Amino acid sequence: MTTLTIARLGHLGDGIAPGPVFVPMALPGEVVEGALDGERMVDPKIVAPSPDRVKAPCRHYRACGGCALMHASDGFVAGWKTDVVRQALTAQGLEAPFRPILTSPPRSRRRATFSGRRTKAGAIVGFHGRRSGTITEIPDCQILDPRLTALLPMLEAITVAGGSRSAELALAATLTDRGIDLAVRNGKPVEPALFAELARIAGEADLARLSWDGEVIAMARPPARRFGRADVVPPAGAFLQATAQGEAALVAAVTEAVGKAGPVADLFAGCGTFALPLAERAEVHAVEGEAAMVAALDAGWRGAEGLHRVTTEARDLFRRPLLPDELNRFGAVVIDPPRAGAEAQTAQIAASRVPVVAAVSCNPVTFARDARLLCNAGFSIDWIEVVDQFRWSPHVELSARLSR
């Protein structure tokens, strides 16, 4: 047995002791004891707990890998996530004013991808265990909207019908304004008997839409989501913000950052989370790499009333970023890239005459790297707001305003 003192948290939420040694479910300052397996401590015992340690509110916490920080107080997690962003900026030689963090409440996640596997007795559906391929059932999950956990019996039925003993289904369930949108991947080929069984299950569960490896099996009604004044029907399995509260916070921040500027370019626009609300104030040009998402955004705009003109473009912004002569006509740019950031596109914004950038990021490290390019070109960071949609996880999101 080895005794260690935790120095800090790692980016995955593990405690880190000198060595380094990674200790799951440990907090800075705690004294822990356990056996070492390489760089990890196995089944650590907390000898001296931190004052920030709390009892996890979920009975599945130790077995489930969906959450990593339920053993820490809300105040500690909020401070740690803000510090993660601050440290990423410091590494790039940057500073910024921080607004208070906005954290989504428990039981507010409106989308989740469950894992499903057939068993001899039927099926098991849930989330993977911590650092494990084992699926843990989570009927009392404290992070999901109860309407998602209520789906578990139906997801088990789908797994029995269309899963195999040798493969694992990915069951992506999303709450929409018109019911559940369920997109399943890795299923068996859809033959007539399976098609009929899946359609029956979807009908009994009143799913808005069921798709199977990209093919729509049943659609009782279009699974629309409202963005501003527009109703949008996203492609099956499309990215959407995880909580209503998180989306509202990000939209409010982007709207404030853009202000009265116009026209606006919305880059990595998705299905229009920002573009359509912004169109209530100004013309918007929305650019997104996925053509199906662009089509959904465009259809939503065309079906709405009272919006300014929204133009769309399907374009790979990693390979073909908008160039300065294309950007110079915009009064503001909104940019919400994936975790890899948008270094190539940001370099073109830096070289343009765009005066304001509203940035949204799910990776503080790549945000800070890209912000450094803008600051080198004469921008300053007016403010940063950390948005914690993924409560009890190490995942960090933020919005920011940068101006020349």
Report DSSP letters for 291-320, one per residue: HHHHHHHHHHHHT-SS---EEEEE--TTTS
Q: Residue 365 and residue 339: Cα distance in Å, rounded?
A: 9
**If DSSP codes are grouped into helix, strand and coil, which group holds residue 161?**
helix
Catalytic one of 141, 271, 362, 375 = 362
Residue 327 has a pLDDT of 98
pLDDT in tens, 268-327: 999 999 999 999 999 999 999 999 999 999 999 999 999 999 999 999 999 999 999 999
Residue 223 has a pLDDT of 97
- Tally of CA atoms within 13 A in the half-sphere of 91 that contains its CB: 13
Residue 359 has a pLDDT of 98
Residue 239 has a pLDDT of 85
Residue 167 has a pLDDT of 87
Residue 21 has a pLDDT of 95
Of 360, 392, 97, 148, nearest in space to 247 by CA: 360
Q: Say if strands 15-17 and 8-9 run parallel, antiparallel, or are unpaired.
A: antiparallel
Is 362 one of the annotated active-site residues of the chain?
Answer: yes
How far CA 371 is from CA of 101, 122, 267, 268, 365, in Å, comes to 20, 51, 16, 17, 10
Identify the segments of the chain with pLDDT beneath 70.
none
Q: Say if strands 169-176 and 111-118 run parallel, antiparallel, or are unpaired.
A: antiparallel
Nearest-Å Rg of the Cα atoms of the chain is 23
pLDDT in tens, 356-390: 999 999 999 999 999 999 999 999 999 999 999 99
Residue 165 has a pLDDT of 80
